[in-house]
Amino acid sequence: MDDNTSAAPVYLLSPEQIAGPYFRNPKLIRRNISEGADGIPLVLRLAIVDAMTGQPVTDALVDIWHCNARGAYSGWSKVNPDVEVDAGDIGSVPRTDDDTYLRGGQFTDKKGIARFTTICPGFYAGRTLHIHVAVRITSGNNYLQERHVAWVGQLYFPEVAARSVLNAREYSGRAIPALSNDQDFFYQNMGGEASTLNIHTLGRDSNEDGFFGQVTIGIDTFAVSSRIKPEDFDKFTV
């Protein structure tokens, strides 16, 4: 018997993607991150699974952040979303404000589930619709100081759902077109298809009633992501 087989993942590891320049650590533990932002409602159910054992990862801190319907991120609200930013590292774009809309974290429950209430993101120049995610493995009572980021990724929308979102009033009238998933560099080159949400409508009458999105994220709980490093929590813009 080959002893190496015991180390093989039993669940598919979800592909990591870049954190982007707009990561912050506001230490906001909340399910509803919308802060009244305009847009189509979105309910998220993220299941975090240990890819080595197939078991749910409990008490992990799951952070999400994404832009608003017009393509702006809180903290960078005055950055023009119609102009592509030539910078991709955390802290590379100076912050413009202290807003916190569409950011927050939740702990996974005993089934490894983290739930969020938000809105569907819009888009900004050079990107398709997406939501950023980071998973921290916590220990003890100092969970908000814990810096073991095990996984960093992005979640995407099926094209049909994305087009429906972009046709809604709050998202329309932009000076530039949104990219499709297939036109998005990070979707194409960092495993975006494996990070696409399973989307259902919340209402029977209209897609504008909102969407329910779910996905299972397989992580290595012993991994230390290079996408968000300990020093990133201390950067001036964070």
Domains of the chain in sequence order: 3-234 (2.60.130.10)
pLDDT value at position 154? 98
Taking the C-alpha atoms of residue 45 and residue 155, their distance in angstroms, rounded to an integer, is 12
Taking the C-alpha atoms of residue 50 and residue 185, their distance in angstroms, rounded to an integer, is 28
pLDDT value at position 8? 61
pLDDT value at position 89? 85
pLDDT tens digits for the chain (238 residues)? Answer: 344 445 566 678 999 999 999 998 878 999 999 999 999 999 999 999 999 999 999 999 999 999 999 999 999 999 999 999 876 789 889 999 999 999 999 999 999 999 999 999 999 999 999 999 999 987 655 556 666 899 999 999 999 999 999 999 999 999 999 999 999 999 999 999 999 999 999 876 666 689 999 999 999 999 999 999 888 887 765 4
For residue 235, the tally of other CB atoms under 10 A from its CB is: 15
DSSP-assigned beta bridge partners for residue 32? 117
Q: Sheet containing 149-156: which strands, arranged edge to edge? A: 103-107, 60-65, 130-137, 149-156
Taking the C-alpha atoms of residue 127 and residue 74, their distance in angstroms, rounded to an integer, is 17
Taking the C-alpha atoms of residue 215 and residue 205, their distance in angstroms, rounded to an integer, is 25
Q: Which single residue is written with the structure tokens 């960078």?
A: 76
pLDDT value at position 236? 62
Phi then psi for 46, rounded to 5 degrees? -110, 120
Phi then psi for 60, rounded to 5 degrees? -80, 145
Residue 5, Cα to own-chain centre: how many angstroms? 32
